[in-house]
Chains A and B, each alone.
Chain A
Amino acid sequence: MKGASVQHRFSEPRFGFWRRTYAMLVKEFIQLRRDRVSFAMIVMLPVMQLMLFGYAINTTPHHLPAAVLLQEDSDLGRSILKAMENTAYFRFTREVHDVAEFDDLLLSGKVLFGVEIPRGFERAVRRGDRPALLVAADATDPVAASSALSSLGMIVQTALAHDLYTGDPVSAPFEIRAHARYNPAASSRLNIVPGLVGTILTMTMLIFTALSVTREIERGTMESLLSMPITPVEVMLGKIIPYVLVGFLQASIIIGIGVFLFGVPVMGSLLLLALLSTLFIATNLSIGYTFSTLAQNQLQAMQLSMMFFLPSILLSGFMFPFLGMPQWAQIVGECLPLTHYLRIVRAIMLKGSTLANLQHDTIALFGLMLFAMTVAVLRFRRTLD
C-alpha cells in the first residue's frame, strides 16, 4: 500500500455498473443457497399448490349424489339414468316418490342433483313432442354443478344409442332442462392449470423480493452496503435477476406437472411461453421489490404483498370470468400483471396464440414492470436520513 499505486487504484473501473450488479447478484445467490427453507419452498410450494388446486380443490368432481323422481317406469327413462351414471359425474343414491321429498333432499344438501322423469315421458318422445327432462342442481357449489351439468348434452346421444329410435338425428327427441342458478361456465382443469402458473408465480415472486431490502435494513447490513459505491439500480438488478432464474425454475415445474400429470396441452410456442413467463416473473419481482422499498420492516412488506395478492386472485380472471366483472373491477384488473399473464398463458397453452395476438398484454406487462422499477429506484433511500 504505497503512495505510488494509489492513483491508479482509484480510477473508475471499467464496466463498473455490471461489475457491481454482478457482485450483488452473486451475493444474493449465495444467500439464497444458504437459506434452506426458502430453497425448499421454491420447489415445494408450486408442487403443493398445484396438487391441492389440481386434485383436491378444483378437480372436476365425480360421483356426486343425485336423487331420482321416477314418475313412470320406462326403458327410455332407465337408459337416461344409466347414461347419466356412465358419465361418472352422477351417482343415484335416492329414489323418491313425490316432488316435496325431491325438494327436501336438495335443500338439505343430501343430494346435489335431482332428476325428474315425468309421467308419460316415453310416449311423448315417441310422439315427437320433445318433452322436458328436469335436472335440478344445487348451485351453491358452482364448480361441482357446472361440470356435471355440462356433460348433460352428451347424455341424449348416449341414451338413444341404446334404444332403437330412428328419428331425425339433428333434433333430439327430448329436451334436457337444467335448472341452475349459476352460470355453468366450464372451469375445467384445462383452464385452471394455466391460471395456477400465474397465481403461484405471483405469490412466490412477490414474497421473495418484498423482503429483500427490508431484510438488509433489519439485519443492519444496509449501512455497510450504502457506504459502498453502489447505485440503487445496481442493487435492484442484483436482487431481481437471481430470482428470475428461480421463477423460471418454478414456472417449469408447474407447467411440467400441468402437462404430464394433468394432460394440459401446450398448443402454442414453448419458447414464446418461456419468454413471456420470464417477463411476468420479472414484473412481479419488480413489484415485490418496490414494496420492499416502501415498507419499514419485513412484516409490513408481507402485508403489502398480501394486499396485492388478494385482488390479483379475485380480479384477474383466475376465479371469476374477467368479462363478467363490473366495469370498475375490470379497470382494476387491467392494472394487475396476473390479468395479462392469465390471458397470455391460457392463449398460448390452450389456443396456440402467437405474439401478434398477445401484443396488448405483453406491452402492458412491460409497462407495469418499468413503472414498478421506476418507483423502486426513486424510493430507494441512499442515505439513512
Chain B
Amino acid sequence: MTEAAAEIAIDVKGLSKSFDGREVVHDLSMQVKRGSIYGFLGPNGSGKTTTIRMLCGLLTPDSGEGTCLGFDIRRDADKIKRRVGYMTQRFSLYQDLSVRENLEFVARLYGMPNPHQVARDMVQRLGLGGRERQLAGELSGGWKQRLALGACTLPNPQLLLLDEPTAGVDPKARRDFWNEIHALAGEGLTVLVSTHYMDEAERCHEIAYIAYGHLLAHGTVPEVIAQSALATYTVSGNDLRDLAADLAGKPGIDMVAPFGTSLHVSGRDHSALEASIAPWREKPGLHWQSAAPSLEDVFIDLMNRSRDNFR
C-alpha cells in the first residue's frame, strides 16, 4: 500500500457503466479520505447504487479504474469484499432467519472465531436484546435497518457502503443511526452513504452530487454551496403564490421555490436577478432579504441544469 493509498480509502477515475445501451454512470471520478463520512446525493435513478456496486465488486465497470482500500476494483474484488461492509438499499438479510441467526451467519462467513459470542455482543450493541430470537422479516423498518447496519459492521470492515440506509425510517431512529455512523467514523471507519435527505447531507464531512450518471459537484457543504455561485433572496409577505407565478421564468431567475411562509428566489446571474426582482422590491407587504442559498436550493438548481444538459 502506498502512502497516498493509506490516506485515501476510495480513489476511482472515469468509471462508466451501461445497461442495455443506456449509460447509467458516466466518467465518474471521486476520492474519499479515510475516516471520513462521504455523502452521496442525487435524484432517483442517478447512478448512486450502480456506483456503490462498482466500488464493492458487485458490478464490473465498462471503463475506468481505481482502488478501494488500496485494492484494484477490477482485480481484487475478493480482497475488497473481505474489508467492506455493504448495506443494500432493500433489506437483504434472511427474513426467515432470526436476528441472531443472521448475525451468526455473517460471522461464520467471514471466518470470525466464536460466532455465537460475536453475534450476542452485536445484539447488545444494537440494543436488540430480547429480540434476538425474532425473525428478521418480522422486525419494524427501523429495527431492520439497525440489524442491517449491525450485520455489515460485524466483520470489522474498514469501509462501509450504505445505500440509502435511512429511507422510510422515523426521525428518532434516523438520528440514532447517524450518531452510530459518527461513532464508527470516530473509530477510523470510512463511510460512504447515499441519501435523499438534506439534513443528512449536512452531517457528512464531504458530499458529492450525482445526476443522470454525472458527478456534478463535490466538496464540503460550504464548498458546494460556494461553487454553485447561486444568489438567493427570501421573500416573505402576502400573496406569495401570485408573486411566484409572476417571477417564474423571468431572465436571471433560475428557481422560485416556496419554503413555509417564505419564497426562495435564486439565480446564478446576479445582475439579471436584481433587475428582474426590482419591480417587486419596494412593493408594500413584501419583505425581501438576501440570503445564502440552502443546500437544497443548490441541488435543485444542479438537477434542473443537468436535466437540460443530459436529457
Contact = CB atoms under 8 A, between A and B. Distances in A.
A223 B106 contact: no
Contact of A224 (B83, B88, B113, B135): B88
B88 A223 contact: yes
B84 interface: yes
A230 B60 CA distance: 17
Given A1-B187, A27-B101, A384-B59, A229 B95 contact: no
B33 to A, nearest CB: 16
B86 A227 contact: yes
Given A224-B88, A229-B110, A230-B109, A31 B97 contact: yes
Contacts of B94: 27, 31, 221
A384 B53 contact: yes
Which of A24, A27, A31, A35 is packed against the most chain B CB atoms within 10 Å?
A27
B30 interface: no
A31 B78 CA distance: 27
Contact of A9 (B58, B109, B156): B156
Nearest to A20: B109
A128 interface: no
DSSP majority for the A interface? helix
Interface in A225-259: 226-230
B78 A227 contact: no
Contacts of B309: none
B90 A220 contact: yes
B7 interface: no
Contact of A228 (B96, B104, B110, B189): B110
B58 A383 contact: yes
Contacts of A127: none
B39 interface: no
B97 A20 contact: no
DSSP majority for the B interface? loop
Nearest to A230: B109
B51 to A, nearest CB: 13
Contacts of A230: 109
B101 A220 contact: no
A230 B105 CA distance: 12
B309 to A, nearest CB: 28
A162 B60 CA distance: 87
Contacts of B111: 12-16, 19-20
Interface in B59-90: 59-60, 77-78, 81-84, 86, 88, 90
Given A35-B96, A220-B91, A227 B105 contact: no
Contact of A223 (B92, B113, B187): B92
B88 A228 contact: no
B263 interface: no
A26 B86 contact: no
B105 A23 contact: yes
A229 B53 CA distance: 15
A16 B184 CA distance: 27
B96 A23 contact: no
B205 interface: no
Contacts of A2: 187-188
A253 to B, nearest CB: 25
Interface string B242-272: 0000000000000000000000000000000
Contacts of A222: 92
B162 interface: no
Interface string A68-104: 0000000000000000000000000000000000000
A223 B156 contact: no
B120 to A, nearest CB: 16
Interface string B278-289: 000000000000
A221 B58 CA distance: 13
B56 interface: yes
B103 to A, nearest CB: 11
A23 B118 CA distance: 14
B203 interface: no
Contacts of A6: 156, 158, 188
A23 B109 contact: yes
Contacts of A3: 188
A9 B157 CA distance: 9
Contacts of A22: 108
A222 B93 CA distance: 9
B101 A30 contact: yes
Contacts of B91: 220
A12 B106 CA distance: 15
A30 B99 CA distance: 12
B57 interface: yes
Nearest to A22: B108
A26 B94 CA distance: 13
A14 B113 CA distance: 10
Given A27-B97, A384-B58, A220 B92 contact: yes
7 contacts: A15-B111, A27-B101, A219-B92, A224-B93, A228-B110, A230-B109, A383-B60
Interface of A: 1-3, 6, 9-10, 12-16, 19-20, 22-24, 26-27, 30-31, 34-35, 219-224, 226-230, 382-385
Interface of B: 53, 56-60, 77-78, 81-84, 86, 88, 90-97, 101, 104-106, 108-113, 135, 151, 156, 158, 184, 187-189
Which 3 residue pairs are nearest across A and B when measured between Cβ atoms? A13-B111, A23-B108, A224-B92
